A and B are shown apart, each in its own frame.
Chain A
Amino acid sequence: MGDTSLLRTPLYDLHVERGAKMVPFAGYDMPVQYPLGVLKEHLHTRARAGLFDVSHMGQVRLRGADIDSVIKALEALVPGDIAALVPGRIRYTMFTNDTAGILDDLMVTRFEDHLYVVINAGCKTEDLAHLKANLPGDITIDYLGDDAGLLALQGPEAAAVMARLLPEAADMGFMSARAAMIDGIPVQISRSGYTGEDGYEISVGAADAEKLARLILAQDGVEAIGLGARDSLRLEAGLCLYGHDIDTSTSPIEAALNWTISKRRRTDGGFPGAGVVQAQLAGGPARRRVGIQPEGKAPAREHTEIQDLSGNRIGEITSGGFGPTAGGPVAMGYVDTGFAAVGTDVQLIVRGKAMPAKVAALPFAPHRYFKG
């Protein structure tokens, strides 16, 4: 059963046992949905708590003679302010190229003696080659492997669920991480996620991943959630999906990710494409990522053309679909800067017909991150 050329996460057997529909995704055989279905899985995550297998993502530890040299080396590849992180803090940033195109987006955690980086499944090979080619030779790149476990527990009840298993998780700040033991299993836990909800991401060794997943799934309020709902949840939360909303043709400024670049890094540069980023910050980018709210009921999918009311092409949808929490279609895409103001009337060309829509504020579902 299944496609043997695909990689499997340590939870593969558990997904099959739970009746998941398995699909190829970034080289892995992944659960797109369980018998509950995408719609109910989405709503359950917003109402209670959902457990996601995100073990397909790449986990890497970067070490060197001292942490400062590792930070300095990584900062040469990303616009994020890694030096400002105190131990146990996380930052979202991206690998850029010389024209400020985005090679991948990533989460960087600073620990006492090393950096821990999570990269996209579909970019793993390229990212690892990029690190190897561009980090100084004395930096060690420790890829945790294709079978390393990574789980995400997301939703308003995630904190209560996790507190039963790990009391110290309750007061962890948003975007912080630490090592811990859950029922004798060594883990690394962070308060972060990709749904807009409060929650955790838990890194666990391949041998313990299934045991930990079963323990969490046995808790009241927790359902297994597939990649289908993960996508609709992150879209409502206004979060970018690499290869769709951001790629080598988009800069962090065009992608409205200005907030990820600190004053020091804007001023000093020192990352690939810094000149382009500085010019776009000074003069404004030619186009910008925005939320798009279709006014009818028809979803506008990726690559849908966006026009002004005179029928001129002004951009394209990069992620679009039905938002179960929004109760209707939601989308995001790029428009020429003159049309980027919230409330601007635009039209979407869906199956040859012009559909009315408005530029909308992101997110579509309010973020409910832990504020302490």
Chain B
Amino acid sequence: MTIRFTKDHEWIKLDGGVATVGITDYAQNALGDVVFVEVPDAGKVLEQGKDAAVVESVKAASEIYAPVDGTVIEGNAALGDDPSLVNTAPEGDGWFFKMSIKDMAQFDALMDQDAYKSFTEGL
């Protein structure tokens, strides 16, 4: 299992050919209380850096971008009933969607855990 991070504070975890995507603890903390999440349907084709999901806090709506090119396998239905999972378990049960990866080179080029840590410390 390998995890990578984007500069937009998404994480993408690869496990047996399936990648799971969510937002980082840093991101959920910046957003505040999440009250609504819109996840993509299975089969949706995603393009790196383009809109993939929406997360809304009391304050505002934010777009979640696809960390790499690929196709959605499953959206996290649990977020419909309990969007606060994004706050309480951002890197666990609060995941947004699972996807297949089209080009592994895109995945490999993202930040690893240490690089992301340095990145957020510099913000």
B61 within 8 A of A: yes
Q: Which residue of chain B lies nearest to A33 when distances are taken between CB atoms in the complex?
A: B32
Q: Which residue of chain A lies nearest to B87 when distances are taken between CB atoms in the complex?
A: A37
B57 within 8 A of A: yes
> Total interface residues on B, using CB and 8 Å?
13
Contact between chains at B36 and A37 (CB < 8 Å): no
- Chain B, residues 40-69, CB within 8 Å of chain A (1/0): the string is 000000000000001011111100000000
- Chain A, residues 25-40, CB within 8 Å of chain B (1/0): the string is 0000000110001111
Contact between chains at B36 and A42 (CB < 8 Å): no
Chain B contacts of A297 at CB under 8 A? 36, 80
Contact between chains at A324 and B61 (CB < 8 Å): no
Contact between chains at B56 and A299 (CB < 8 Å): yes
Residues 307 to 321 of chain A near chain B (Cβ within 8 Å)? 321
Total contacts A to B, CB within 8 angstroms?
41
B3 to chain A, nearest CB (A): 27
Bound Cα distance from A297 to B56, whole angstroms: 11
Bound Cα distance from A329 to B38, whole angstroms: 14
| A38-B38 contact in complex given A299-B56, A322-B58, C-beta closer than 8 Å | no
Contact between chains at A228 and B36 (CB < 8 Å): no
B33 within 8 A of A: yes
Q: Which residue of chain B lies nearest to A21 when distances are taken between CB atoms in the complex?
A: B32
Bound Cα distance from A177 to B38, whole angstroms: 47
Contact between chains at A299 and B33 (CB < 8 Å): no
Bound Cα distance from A38 to B57, whole angstroms: 9
Q: Which residue of chain A lies nearest to B58 when distances are taken between CB atoms in the complex?
A: A38
Contact between chains at A38 and B56 (CB < 8 Å): no
Q: Which residue of chain B lies nearest to A32 when distances are taken between CB atoms in the complex?
A: B59
| A39-B35 contact in complex given A297-B80, A351-B54, C-beta closer than 8 Å | yes
- Chain A, residues 287-298, CB within 8 Å of chain B (1/0): the string is 000000000011
Bound Cα distance from A329 to B83, whole angstroms: 13
A232 within 8 A of B: yes
| A228-B80 contact in complex given A37-B32, A37-B33, A39-B33, C-beta closer than 8 Å | no
A358 within 8 A of B: no
Chain A contacts of B80 at CB under 8 A? 297
Bound Cα distance from A228 to B58, whole angstroms: 8
| A322-B32 contact in complex given A299-B61, A301-B61, C-beta closer than 8 Å | no
Bound Cα distance from A328 to B33, whole angstroms: 13
Chain A contacts of B59 at CB under 8 A? 32, 38, 228, 321
Contact between chains at A322 and B36 (CB < 8 Å): yes
> Which single member of B38, B54, B58 contacts A321 (CB below 8 Å)?
B58
Q: Which residue of chain B lies nearest to A322 when distances are taken between CB atoms in the complex?
A: B35
Q: Which residue of chain A lies nearest to B59 when distances are taken between CB atoms in the complex?
A: A228
Q: Which residue of chain B lies nearest to A228 when distances are taken between CB atoms in the complex?
A: B59
* Most chain B Cβ neighbours within 10 Å, of A229, A301, A322: A322
Bound Cα distance from A321 to B33, whole angstroms: 13
Chain A contacts of B38 at CB under 8 A? 298, 351
Chain A contacts to B: CB under 8 angstroms: 32-33, 37-40, 42, 228-229, 232, 297-299, 301, 321-322, 324, 329, 351
**Besides A42-B58, A298-B38, 15 other A-B contacts (C-beta < 8 A):** A32-B59, A37-B33, A38-B57, A38-B58, A38-B59, A39-B35, A229-B58, A297-B80, A298-B56, A321-B58, A322-B36, A322-B56, A322-B58, A324-B58, A329-B36
10 nearest A-B residue pairs (beta carbon)? A39-B33, A322-B35, A38-B58, A322-B58, A37-B33, A228-B59, A299-B56, A297-B36, A38-B32, A37-B32
Chain B contacts to A: CB under 8 angstroms: 32-33, 35-36, 38, 54, 56-61, 80
Q: List 8 A-B contacts (CB under 8 A).
A: A33-B32, A37-B33, A40-B33, A228-B32, A228-B58, A229-B58, A297-B36, A301-B60
